[in-house]
Amino acid sequence: MKRSRRSTAWRVSIARRVLLAAALGVLLVSAGGGERRYSLHVTRTRGDELIAELPISAGDEFSLHYTHSVSNTPVSGEFRITTDGRIEPTVTRFVSFGPGLPWTPGTDHQTDADGRIVYTHFEDPRDELLLWVSELTAETLVLGETAVQLYRPGGAFDRIAVRVETRGRAAGRPR
């Protein structure tokens, strides 16, 4: 069966269009049309001093670890990055109750294998975390294998902001 030049040209034209569409798709994904990439910015609010800038993606989790200033026991809070680049509190774990911890005596609670009380959060995601840190409470942010000491030796209190940034600007809702 002999094909006409016209049908062969038409098939080549279709093949070229398919290849062009595939190449355009690859370009769009590599130019940012795919998964949004963020960074976790940790700054001292006085002077806007950048402490750390860590690459992070939607769905990634990080944690904050510190010593409770009243009970002198370890506390950890876990957070997840939402698809729109906000910070969602997920779980807080602690050994002993203390002021400011998210639990009310007389309510149900769970414990983990280490005997820590586990509080599961049902809060809306937020644009930033604001923390008071000091050498006394020894706050540390952990993302994967990276640990960032948030306090400065010497005992001074500092206010720290943790935000998600994308392409040089805040990813969350306008403040």
Residue 45: which domain range?
Answer: 37-170
Gap between the Cα atoms of 140 and 161, Å rounded? 13
Are 50 and 123 in a shared domain?
Answer: yes
**159: which 2 tokens?**
């206010």
Gap between the Cα atoms of 117 and 110, Å rounded? 6
* Torsion angle of the four alpha carbons 92, 130, 82, 95, in this order, in degrees rounded to the nearest 10: -10
**3: which 2 tokens?**
């094909």
Gap between the Cα atoms of 132 and 57, Å rounded? 26
Note down pLDDT in tens along the chain; length 175 residues.
565 555 555 454 554 554 444 443 433 334 444 556 899 999 999 988 999 999 999 999 999 999 999 999 999 999 999 999 999 999 999 998 888 888 766 666 788 999 999 998 888 999 999 999 999 999 999 999 999 999 999 868 999 999 999 854 555 544 3
The letter for the amino acid at 175 is R
Are 6 and 89 in a shared domain?
Answer: no
On whether residue 175 sits in a domain, the answer given is no
